[in-house]
Structure 1
């Protein structure tokens, strides 16, 4: 019984063997793949003709152009470039900047009452651009004027009393001490008048300071505050805090090109050296200039030395913060 069960569980050898592909079929597949690869790898004459056919229209077009047209296109370009290469020792790029940026700041804390300019407006020298609130200062001015009238009246009273006592002393009715006392009273009253006059002049100066004027003929670069905003004087050292400046302006006729010059080229540049400036936005325009400034120390991190090239006759095409190319000319 047990042997019959074991025989039923035994696996037949014919079932256990895996089917094997004939070796000839495998070799045939490898040969077929190799043949297809060689077919696509070997170049054919039709491919060369097709490539030549694609290039032919371009060559035909260039050949069809007359020689005069080709020369007229290429000759001016080389003629414009070659003098720059011959005359210059160095060509670098930089940025157009204002030589001076002026930020107007109030002399004391106050509230902006009115602003009469906006960004891009042209202003003239001594033009009123900002007004600060002057209500408090006008009230103090009225108070001081009243005090001045009182001190003048006191001075007049002292002078009259002194004159009266002087007559009495002459008539030997009053003593000399009384006369001396009134003389001192007159001097005190005169000092009080001068003191009050000084206070009035000071408050009038404060009132004048509430009127902010442009110090130059220029253009407004930035409006930094708005009406009804509290402003404070700019701190020492040029560190600008919030709402310390009112507006920023500059002279558009005083422009420079700021360049970070590589230390390897420093020997090629000297103060007063003539330059030719071409703005990147208008490469067909050129301007004359000269090296106006060289920084007293270099930047160790960048390995550069900052120089500034003054533009002699800038016009409306030159805009600050745009890039420009500078050719440093050879020394004649």
Structure 2
């Protein structure tokens, strides 16, 4: 019996049993990511450099201003203040000294009046009657005086003849003196009655404007009556004299030395900021206000426009100082905040190009728009305003106009 060797597996069968592996992806080159990284780092570095140049690497910023120059004879501002428009005599309250009913009052607030214009008329019938009575009393007194004078003359003759006694003569002369006194009294009563009649017609004593009426047509003026609109018992109206318009302003005690009589000024009404008016100091009050620490000053408006300027309007007053034409050199002004003070020495930081340099100066009078520099600056220089204490000579800075 023959034996056959066992047949091995078929090659095709073995191939069918083999597990097929997925194709392995091809590994990318490492050069591309490296290039991208380099580009990103370059961009970030450039941006960082730009940011550094604009921040940490940039010279510090400083606020600067230009040194100004005022020519000889040009006005310089000393100080400014706020106040109110007034008149020379403040406000005039017109009234009467008698009582009665108002029968005419042809005025209104804001109306312009002239000297002698009628403001009000009071019923004068009772005062006219009193005047007539006074005239009649004087006539009686005059007649009585004639009688008493004749009697006294007779008594003197009779006494000289020894017919009448000394007592009779003294009595006659005494009656004559009483009659003369009664006549003078009657004349006084007539004057008083005339005055009362004159008070029934109230006229304007000034050229001005009616600010306020305290009474109306038909009102009765009496001492027990109600006071109208802030006026007194016999007040009729309040007037303002517009021939001398002024502005009243309170100045701090520390600044009053800068203002003198005749100091030029400019008045700018708050309601009309584009319409300044030239003015001049005409009054400095002799007493200061202890509580406010101020001194009252009045400036007269030289050319007021009455269509614009009105009493009690608020306004800003700028006081000025005029340099004389004798001054040969212009006045150099530097901002006060730019001055660095070290003991008695003063200096400023001047910006030249991109660097700063400390320049010693000699200062003069202080004005509203700067401090006078007598030596050290010629005008036009760029100086640092409110300089930091850490600044150094020759340091680079970035100038920024203030």
Alignment match, 2:311: 320
Superposed displacement of residue 92, structure 1? 3.4
Q: Select 2:108's aligned residue among 83, 105, 118.
A: 118
Alignment match, 1:97: 86
What are the within-5 Å matches in structure 2 for residues 186-201 of structure 1? 186-201=176-191
Alignment match, 1:143: 133
Alignment match, 1:64: none
Alignment match, 2:77: 88
Number of residue-to-residue matches in the alignment: 243
CA distance in structure 1 between the partners assigned to 2:238 and 2:91 by the alignment: 7
Superposed displacement of residue 154, structure 1? 1.6
CA distance in structure 2 between the partners assigned to 1:258 and 1:175 by the alignment: 78
Query: Is residue 129–residue 214 contact of structure 1 (8 Å, CA) maintained in 2?
Result: yes
CA distance in structure 1 between the partners assigned to 2:75 and 2:322 by the alignment: 12
TM-score, normalised relative to structure 2? 0.53
TM-score, normalised relative to structure 1? 0.63
CA distance in structure 2 between the partners assigned to 1:244 and 1:202 by the alignment: 18
**SS in structure 2 of the partner of residue 206 of structure 1:** helix
What are the within-5 Å matches in structure 2 for residues 1-332 of structure 1? 87-99=76-88, 100-169=90-159, 173-231=163-221, 243-263=233-253, 265-295=255-285, 296-298=287-289, 300=291, 302-316=292-306, 317-332=308-323
Superposed displacement of residue 103, structure 1? 0.6
Which has the higher Rg, Structure 1 or Structure 2? 2
**SS in structure 1 of the partner of residue 312 of structure 2:** coil
Residue range with higher mean Cα deviation, 220-229 or 103-112: 103-112
> Are residues 185 and 304 of structure 1, via their aligned partners in 2, closer, same or farther at CA, if it must alter by over 3 Å?
closer
Superposed displacement of residue 274, structure 1? 0.9
Structure 1 segments unaligned to the other structure (5+ residues): 1-81, 234-239
CA distance in structure 1 between the partners assigned to 2:161 and 2:284 by the alignment: 84
Deviations along 1:165-203, one digit per CA (max 9) or x if unpaired, are 445455555445434432332222222211222122222
Superposed displacement of residue 291, structure 1? 2.0
Structure 2 segments unaligned to the other structure (5+ residues): 1-69, 224-229, 324-402
**SS in structure 2 of the partner of residue 313 of structure 1:** coil
Alignment match, 1:78: none
> Are residues 89 and 174 of structure 1, via their aligned partners in 2, closer, same or farther at CA, if it must alter by over 3 Å?
closer
Q: Which structure: greater strand fraction? A: 2
CA distance in structure 2 between the partners assigned to 1:159 and 1:264 by the alignment: 77
CA distance in structure 1 between the partners assigned to 2:250 and 2:290 by the alignment: 9
**SS in structure 2 of the partner of residue 145 of structure 1:** helix
